[in-house]
A and B are shown apart, each in its own frame.
Chain A
Amino acid sequence: MAGGDEQIGRVVTPAQTMDSRVSAGIIALAAITLLIGGAFAGLLVEGAHDFSGAWGAFDPYLLRVVRFTLWQAILSTLLSVVPALFVARALSRHPRFFGRAFILQLFAVPLALPAIVAALGILALYGRAGYFAGLFSAVGGQDWPGIYGLSGILVAHVFFNLPLATRLFLEALQTIPADQWRLASQLGMAARPAFRLIEWPTLRAALPGVAGLVFMLCITSFTIVLTLGGGPAATTLEVGIYQALRFDFDPARAVALTLLQIGLTFIVVLALTRLGANVVGDTNLPVAPRRYLSVNGTETTLNAALIVLALLFVVGPMAATVLAGLGADLGRLAGEATVRQATLTSAVLAFLSALLSVMLSLALTMARRALALNRRAGPRTLLEHATDTGAGFVLVVPPIVIGAGWFLLLRHAGDVFAIAPVMVVTVNSVMAMPFALRAIRPAYDAASERHERLCAQLGISGWARLRLVDWPSLRRPLATAFAFAMALSLGDLGVIALFGSDSVQTLPYLLLARMGSYRTQDAAGLALLLGLVCLALVLAADWLGRHKVRNV
């Protein structure tokens, strides 16, 4: 690289070839804005229409809901993050043992599992009629009441977030340079000082981000609270919105709840970005680096116990899902017209949603890159900011809120349930965008870094560029994003809970209906099917993402 430093990090491109990419981004942004703006319009129209009603909805009950929303999120975060610190440490202290990679793989599964499937697994295990009910009754000396309400919500949240937090902490621990470990082992540092001097500083740095992410996931959690929360005593804002619209039909209350939810998530997201949290979560599998560790016998035993406990806690509901699912009359289920119809609906909607999600993400990525290349030295324009963080809106405005807004807006226009497919596809696609962007953006930017000048020089642009240059280098990341978005959309029980009806049912919706009518066996069978499909999709996404195209 003798003297090539004038050009490092600069890809120089003229303005005139950029327009199509930027306009694609503008169209994508407009679509997202329409979706979110329409929801807000619905809320505002409703609020203005019945202002006293909306104001009157701020009653003590609402305050209780807010308090419970925060309380369960705080408890879930503590119960997930604190044990995760120690599990992650235990795993990092033993970089090589049989089954370690498998355990980490298992810890990634909850991320892929639809919330309703996990909820069902937890009920099958710890519920009133669950596998452990007999044991718990014998130990407690009375009939096991099952875990509904706060305890159920907490167990489910910990099931999802303990493995996630563990993986994130483990990743942080693996950033500790090997030199430090070599030094520690040369100095004969025991476990306690090693934790205090080496591990804790790294974990502490990662703590706000991880805790923030978990808190955010718990505060916007809908399905878990809906299926495991029991009655008005254990209701969160999101479930409150759903109940206000679907059961009480109290639009004024829905508006009040929605505004509170937006305010709450906005404050949380703001606090998180201040803390530098990563609000999307990751699915990368950490690899173990070479280590120089001396771990004594007592510590090994303790670590092993810790890992096994965490493993059992995570594997339990999964195993219960499989067992209960196999116990269902799968043959009859497969023959049922409703089930077939719901499966087909789910597949079509999830496919379209993933397609839309990938297209929107690609458009935003291309526009952002093109704008950044054109900008040269000056400050970023508003448009570039929007293409950069546009997808982040969806983090502040949860799917239920968007759904609620449109529900309120469209109920004057006729049959709200008729637009269920449109709502499910659009809201889920936008919801999956943060994940899709994470797969697409780095790949696109890297490819652009290599190809931009060459394309400009040879005049490769527009369709030819997409076909010859961008598609071959983006095929895999696009497939990763697609599979992940499709899994998310397949398992989602947010928008469909609001808009679903007998005429438009997805698998999660049908599952919820069967749970509601106490056809637990059917529900278990459906859960197994749904869980397996989502797992397969996420594994495919992971596999596609790992094979990076080698480039010259």
Chain B
Amino acid sequence: MSEWAMRGKGVPVRLEKVSFSYGEAPLTFDVAFAAAEITAIMGPSGSGKSTLLNLVAGFETPQSGRVLIGGADVGADPPSARPVSMVFQENNLFGHLSVEQNVGLGRSASLRLTEADRIAIAEALERTGLSGKERRLPRELSGGERQRVALARVLVRDRPVLLLDEPFASLGPALRDDMLDLVAGVHAERGMTVLFVTHQPEDARRIGQNLVFLNNGTVAATGSADDFFAGAGPEAFRRYIGASAGNAVSRDIARKRT
């Protein structure tokens, strides 16, 4: 594989005065994500969380500014050439391909797999608890298992940056905790840089080391997750997470924001 495929080498991600617009309100991001750490990205709907990930992944092109991954400007690279893997909320798998094939696509986009690739795939399936389900089709799996397949593919792709766009939002609480622990475990082994968009404060608390809070299309605050939840975040953040932060602001106000 390529030069970044060295284990335990997360690289820093930086958006430098990046501006972007869907035609309405412009979004501007100027933010750095620390290498090899998990950063939770939170913010109300429409604040630009998914757009930020799409800019890093290469699904969107900035109108101005630079996207730097590991210090290199990746602006001209198509999504598949960037040193990132991404897991979406849904549609992570091809419905007509088996679990094994879906994971294998992370190694070879034309599914021409070497023996070494097959071993890596088997290991990844083992690590994500999917052994014995290699030949199943996605529709024969539960929602949680499907996301595990996506994570297994992240493992065989082995890129230094992992982007998670609310991948566990449709799972129940217990299952979500399992998945979060799996992500944390994989992160401990591989040490990639993880950007994790979530709506759940518990998620951010559970595995987030840092937290970036977006509001109105821009970065409103950054800091360590612990500080945020200890009440050091801005007013807008406290309003956003509402009663679960344990402060006096009522839920109704928080709801109106979303």
Taking Cβ atoms with an 8 Å cutoff, the residues of A that contact B are: 1-7, 12-14, 16-17, 376-377, 450-451, 453-454, 456-461, 463-464, 467-469, 472-473, 549-552
Show 10 A/B contacts (Cβ-Cβ < 8 Å), sorted by A. Answer: A12-B54, A12-B60, A453-B79, A457-B85, A458-B106, A459-B78, A460-B110, A461-B80, A551-B95, A552-B139
Dominant SS at the B interface?
A: loop
Determine if B23 is an interface residue (Cβ-Cβ < 8 Å).
yes
- In the complex, the answer to whether B50 meets A458 with C-beta atoms within 8 Å is no
- In the complex, the answer to whether A14 meets B89 with C-beta atoms within 8 Å is no
Chain B: CB-nearest residue to A8: B50
Extra inter-chain contacts (9) besides given A376-B22, A550-B95, CB under 8 Å: A2-B169, A3-B45, A3-B258, A7-B165, A453-B91, A457-B79, A460-B109, A472-B96, A552-B91
Partner among A7, A453, A454, A459 whose Cβ is within 8 Å of the Cβ of B94: A454
- In the complex, the answer to whether B58 meets A14 with C-beta atoms within 8 Å is yes
Partner among B61, B78, B86, B138 whose Cβ is within 8 Å of the Cβ of A552: B138
Given contacts A12-B54, A453-B59, contact A459 B95 (CB under 8 A): no
Interface Cβ pair total, 8 Å cutoff: 112
Chain B: CB-nearest residue to A13: B59
Determine if B134 is an interface residue (Cβ-Cβ < 8 Å).
no
A324–B22 alpha-carbon span in the complex (Å): 66
- In the complex, the answer to whether A456 meets B169 with C-beta atoms within 8 Å is no
Chain A: CB-nearest residue to B258: A3
- In the complex, the answer to whether A464 meets B111 with C-beta atoms within 8 Å is yes
Partner among A16, A17, A450 whose Cβ is within 8 Å of the Cβ of B91: A450
Specify which chain B residues have a CB less than 8 angstroms from the CB of A6 in the assembled complex. 45-46, 48-51
Chain A: CB-nearest residue to B47: A6
B138 to chain A, nearest CB (A): 4
Given contacts A3-B199, A6-B49, A551-B95, contact A468 B111 (CB under 8 A): yes
A469–B97 alpha-carbon span in the complex (Å): 9
- In the complex, the answer to whether B169 meets A1 with C-beta atoms within 8 Å is yes
Given contacts A2-B199, A14-B61, A377-B23, contact A550 B78 (CB under 8 A): no
- In the complex, the answer to whether A4 meets B169 with C-beta atoms within 8 Å is yes
A449 to chain B, nearest CB (A): 8
Closest CB pairs A-B (n = 9): A459-B80, A464-B110, A12-B59, A551-B95, A377-B23, A472-B96, A552-B138, A456-B79, A460-B109
Specify which chain B residues have a CB less than 8 angstroms from the CB of A551 in the assembled complex. 95-96, 139
- In the complex, the answer to whether A1 meets B110 with C-beta atoms within 8 Å is no
Specify which chain B residues have a CB less than 8 angstroms from the CB of A1 in the assembled complex. 89, 169-170
A472–B146 alpha-carbon span in the complex (Å): 20
Determine if B88 is an interface residue (Cβ-Cβ < 8 Å).
yes
